[in-house]
């Protein structure tokens, strides 16, 4: 088993998505203590924002004519694609920021796409847990139903483009208790948090059960 974990929160120790990803990982490492885990934290160590353009330009340039920046960017893109392809289980913690996918996650996806061999499904059948956290609530019938433009996009890339066997763990209303305007939802938020934590533990147990260490 080779586990890849990628975090993307910009909120450091207060990250709700990382806390849920911890629960997933805890169940895996409880069952397989020696499992190697490759980690990336896109929020704390962002990928260079110019790497995508350089990698794309490099990929369209004969190898001997590539400049240094293009070579570095392409090497990074290929490393990201290899990391994903070599993983036998993947845990992603991607928060909702400004109704969409964070720029850090987008940079990772764009670079990884450039680094992959054409037509290769990088996660073909790989069990993948996507943790999504949102400050507000976006369920059916809520005023902002449909405003989460991150989860659908992530599913499009992970499942339809890369072939992942995807489980989504979601927690809404993480800003209840932080933003007083949401105080009336305190009880709902407690229930949502508990459900999300149970779902994270169950996703971790299922990852662990699918793998011999």
Ligand X SMILES: Cc1cc2nc3c(=O)[nH]c(=O)nc-3n(C[C@H](O)[C@H](O)[C@H](O)COP(=O)(O)O)c2cc1C
**Which of residues 11 and 88 has its CB atom nearest to ligand X in the complex?**
11
> Under rule CB under 6 A, which residues in 175-204 are in contact with ligand X?
175
Q: Least separation, in Å, of the C-beta of 173 and ligand X? A: 8
Under the criterion CB under 6 A, does residue 135 sit at the interface with ligand X? yes
For ligand X, the closer CB: 12 or 33: 12
97 binding ligand X? (CB under 6 A): yes
Three-state SS annotation for the chain: CCEEEEECCCCHHHCHHHHHHHHHHHHHHHHCCCCCEEEEECCCCCCCCCHHHHHHHHHCCCHHHCCHHHHHHHHHHHHHHHHHHHCCEEEEEEECECCECCHHHHHHHHHHHHHCCCCCCCCCCCEEEEEEECCCCCCCCCCCCCCCCCHHHHHHHHHHHCCCEEEEEEECCCCCCCCHHHHHHHHHHHHHHHHHHHHHHHHHHHHHHCCCC
Q: Is 99 in the site for ligand X (CB under 6 A)?
A: yes
Size of the site for ligand X (CB under 6 A): 17
- Whichever of 52 and 138 has its CB closer to ligand X, that residue is 138
Site string for ligand X, 17-56 (x = CB under 6 A): xx--------------------------------------
Residue 153 in the binding site for ligand X (CB under 6 A): no
Name the residues that contact ligand X, by CB under 6 A. 9, 11, 15-18, 95-99, 133-136, 174-175
């Amino acid at each position: 088993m080779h586990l890849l974990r990628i975090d993307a929160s910009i909120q450091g120790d207060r990250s709700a998505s990382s806390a849920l990803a911890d629960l997933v990982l805890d169940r895996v490492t409880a069952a397989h203590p020696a499992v190697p885990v490759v980690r990336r934290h896109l929020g704390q160590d962002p990928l260079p924002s110019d790497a995508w353009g350089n990698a794309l330009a490099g990929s369209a340039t004969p190898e001997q004519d590539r400049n240094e920046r293009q070579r570095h960017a392409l090497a990074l893109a290929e490393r990201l694609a290899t990391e994903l392809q070599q993983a036998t289980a993947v845990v992603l913690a991607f928060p909702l920021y400004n109704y969409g996918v964070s720029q850090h996650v987008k940079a990772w996806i764009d670079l990884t796409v450039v680094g992959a061999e054409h037509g290769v499904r990088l996660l073909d059948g790989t069990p993948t847990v996507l943790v999504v956290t949102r400050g507000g609530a976006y369920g059916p019938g809520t005023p902002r139903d449909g405003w989460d433009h991150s989860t659908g996009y992530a599913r499009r890339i992970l499942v339809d483009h890369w072939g992942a066997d995807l489980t989504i763990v979601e927690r809404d209303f993480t800003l209840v208790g932080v933003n007083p305007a949401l105080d009336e939802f305190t009880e709902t938020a407690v229930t949502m948090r508990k459900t999300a934590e149970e779902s994270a533990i169950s996703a971790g147990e299922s990852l662990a059960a699918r793998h011999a260490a």
